[in-house]
A and B are shown apart, each in its own frame.
Chain A
């Protein structure tokens, strides 16, 4: 049965139900149809599953977890495993969060090699940085140890950094990261499934380089600082030293030097140089409200929206990555701890009419002292001034970010391609 309008005589309430909020009267009409009309019931079920599938198509990867139990891998299909792991993680989070004794026992039972220790972490209320190893589930906190074989999930809005034992190598994982840690006879191994890592790697023993893998790339490191990001493709930024980089599809390694970047989207045959720049707003605040100038407040109920204006000047190259980082200072939990925060850009270029366009969206928990980081489409930015507006969807809480006059000013972090290019070896 096809999804269709109802004989052209009125709105198709079945279709509308999944597109907008119906009025009380419309909802009653729809329920009458569902009670009395088999065709409407069938269309309702079909419309619901189609709507869900369309969302699942765009977000399925976000909720699929790293597989960790080899025995089950052989016997079940990936999606079933992923759902099972998600459930197990949930249960693990529950137990570790609410039954400390069990968490301690799980941690004490782990006999895998300890490779690193948590140096710093930020965890939102109601969430946990989960760690799974050989089917056992726990959570990471300050000073927790990290074992070979650990699969770590850092939820959106949280962050984790850890240092390897007996050396200064430090890894920082951003929110939304899934990474597995392993030790291969003293050589460090990381598998970054999703998200981003910043690494500061001390000089490694001869013959034992640190190796990082992503779904479509590998990197080999002897001692350097770099960032590795997985979002569709894999992108590497090297800030010091040198990293060997392999795009698996191409099959050949390139050496990426300090100040250069490579990504699997370009096949890593050619690396480009880049420059990191950070900007603070020239003007920011809450235009509609009488708000302490140390804060940028967003509150749908009082119609508060945040505003930030940056002067980027002459950038001298194409922007390849743009992030806006805001520090959450306060919040009102009128509606619980989560929120839908949307970031819009106002086009200030001549002839563009000054219209607003959404460039980023954060949906999830928010907590005090959290850095809320928006990844912005680089094409939305260019030379000169740019202005952002921050809004919260109706029904959210109100959030207060530090302004440029507050203790942790907003930062616009840009990576800009410079003209120099290097050929892959």
Chain B
């Protein structure tokens, strides 16, 4: 029961953790760690009580641990504020995201080669903007601008594709 509830809330937890870490791999690791703690303590928990706050508390502790391991002190939007976004995190659920992911994939493939390269460096190689700038010989500001513009275009492209699918 507890694990089923955990699984049902994975999207919300993923959104919460990712919004704090902004790191894809760290988010998956923290979710795994959270699952371990949940599994370990599942038998001690009253399944009748609301479980999401408990899951969020464990995830929060794991994020703090991750921050400490990285030598970081906070630097993210407060947990209290992030909890208010829980209803929005439905798109972090794999099932919910499937259609959007497919549209985004098509849109990324249509990007010009230089933008695709930046996407690869940023989201596959996990380079930060200064690293990308050094790698391709542009200024850091140019990379920030390019990424923001590109994400704006991708968002438009995805919305158009999804709207088109709805019409069909």
Per the bound structure, the CA–CA distance linking A93 and B85 in Å amounts to: 32
Within 8 A of B (CB), among A352-401: 355-358, 361, 363, 394-395
Query: Of A52-60, A158-166, A240-248, A402-410, which binds chain B?
Result: A52-60
Judge if B61 is at the interface, Cβ distance under 8 Å: no
Chain B interface helix/strand/loop/mixed: helix
- Measured in the bound complex, the distance between the Cα atoms of B78 and A83 in whole Å is 28
A33-63 vs B: 1/0 string, CB under 8 Å? 0110000011011111111111111111001
Contact B151 A335 (CB under 8 A): no
When chains A and B are docked, how far (Å) is the Cα of A263 from the Cα of B110? 27
List residues 81-108 of chain B with CB under 8 A from any CB of chain A.
Answer: 81, 84-85, 88-89, 91-92, 94-95, 97-98, 100-101, 104-105, 108
**B126 contacts A90, CB within 8 Å?**
no
Nearest CB in chain B: distance from A191 CB, A = 23
Contacts of B3 in A (CB 8 A): 87, 91
Interchain CB contact under 8 A, A48 and B19: yes
In the complex, what residues of A have CB within 8 A of residue B77's CB? 17, 27, 30-31, 34, 44
Number of contact residues on A: which range applies?
A: 35 or more
Q: In the assembly, what is the distance between CA of A95 and CA of B85, in Å? A: 33
Given the contacts A30-B77, A58-B124, A49 and B15 also touching, CB distance less than 8 Å: yes
Q: How large is the interface on B (under 10, 10 to 19, 20 to 34, 35 or more residues)?
A: 35 or more
**Residue from the list B122, B126, B147 in contact with A363, Cβ < 8 A:** B126
Say whether A41 contacts B101, CB under 8 Å: no
**Chain B residue at smallest Cβ distance from A22:** B75
The contact string, 1 if C-beta is below 8 Å from chain A, for chain B 103-140, is 01100100000000001111111111101001101000
- A255-B49 Cα distance, complex, nearest whole Å: 63
A62 → B minimal CB distance (Å): 9
Interface presence of A2 (CB below 8 A): yes
Docked Cα-Cα span, A18 to B124, in Å, equals 16
**Interface pair B24/A90, CB less than 8 Å apart:** no
A/B pair count, beta carbons within 8 Å:
157
- B54 interfacial by beta-carbon distance below 8 Å: no
A282 to B120, CA, bound (A): 32
| Complex partner residue of B152 from A2, A48, A55, CB under 8 angstroms | A2
* Contact status of A57 and B123, CB under 8 A, knowing A48-B15, A83-B10, A394-B71: yes
Tell whether A335 pairs with B71 under 8 Å between CB atoms, given A18-B22, A53-B104, A86-B32: yes
Asked if residues A90 and B32 are in contact (CB atoms below 8 Å), the reply is: yes
- Give the residue of B24, B95, B108, B154 whose beta carbon is less than 8 angstroms from that of A59: B24
**In the complex, A18 Cα to B121 Cα: how many Å?**
15
Interface centre among A30, A57, A63 (most CB of B within 10 A): A57
The chain A residue with its CB closest to the CB of B19 is A48
Could you tell me which residues of chain A, from 86 to 100, have a CB within 8 Å of some CB in chain B?
86-87, 90-91, 93-95, 98
Interchain CB contact under 8 A, A54 and B119: yes
- Does A12 sit within 8 A of B, measured CB to CB? yes
Contact residues, A57-112 vs B (CB, 8 A): 57-60, 63, 77, 79-80, 82-84, 86-87, 90-91, 93-95, 98
Question: Is B97 a contact of A94 with CB atoms below 8 Å?
Answer: no
22 intermolecular pairs with C-beta atoms under 8 Å apart: A2-B155, A3-B148, A18-B22, A19-B148, A20-B129, A22-B75, A31-B78, A49-B88, A52-B92, A54-B108, A57-B123, A58-B123, A59-B25, A59-B124, A60-B101, A87-B7, A90-B32, A95-B39, A338-B69, A340-B126, A355-B137, A358-B135
Residues of A within 8 A of B (CB): 2-5, 12, 15-22, 27, 30-31, 34-35, 41-42, 44-60, 63, 77, 79-80, 82-84, 86-87, 90-91, 93-95, 98, 335-336, 338, 340, 355-358, 361, 363, 394-395
Q: A16-B144, A94-B40 are in contact. List 11 more A-B contacts (CB 8 A).
A: A18-B22, A34-B77, A48-B15, A50-B151, A51-B22, A52-B14, A57-B105, A58-B120, A59-B124, A77-B95, A91-B39
